[in-house]
Amino acid sequence: MKHIYKENKKGAPVFILLHGTGGTETDLISLAELLNPEYNILGIRGNVQENGMNRYFKRHGEGKYDWEDLEFRGNELYEFIVEKSKEHDFKLEDTVLVGFSNGSNIAIQMMLKQPDIFKKAALFAPLYPADVENKQDFSDVEVFLSLGKGDPIVPESESNRVIRLFNERSADVTTAWVNGHSLTQEVAMEAKNWLN
């Protein structure tokens, strides 16, 4: 998978950056540097194409996931992160998932499948349109959720479903609301305060 690894400080935690539809591995670097300039960075490009745009998994339309592909791609991405953790000598427990939109969605998938691994995530404009039966234990997970009022892609009911998904698993949840499907400077600062 195309990616970028940037070491800022030996032994510091690692941001795993997951872009939105049409993005690349460098999209969220300025956000990561704002959140904490000392953290190391692993930016990964989604390897699924939709009308020439990079994504992390296939879908059948807006909000209609190809669940089989999401399962496959989530495992593939997780294995890639494991491989990079060995190569660059960092612990998976010391990572912070940072996603926007499509990147947030695959981050949720990985957290649900690997509940013992990912302990911290800042997810902007997430959508996970399914109720998950299995009640993973997220009592030692901290998550920052940035959600949109009047978001044309994610209805507010779906934003609330994402909040519920984490609350029902006892995660420590911090929420912030923005207008639309966006990642604003204000909400980036709120995420920074949450992280530090």
Q: What is the CA radius of gyration of the chain?
A: 15
Q: Taking a C-beta distance cutoff of 8 angstroms, is the pair 96, 16 a contact?
A: yes
How far apart are the C-alpha atoms of 21 and 69, rounded to whole Å? 16
The DSSP secondary-structure symbol of 126 reads -
Write out the catalytic residue numbers.
101, 151, 181
Report the C-alpha gap between 144 and 172 in whole angstroms: 9
Residues 114 and 41: their CA atoms lie apart, in Å, by 21
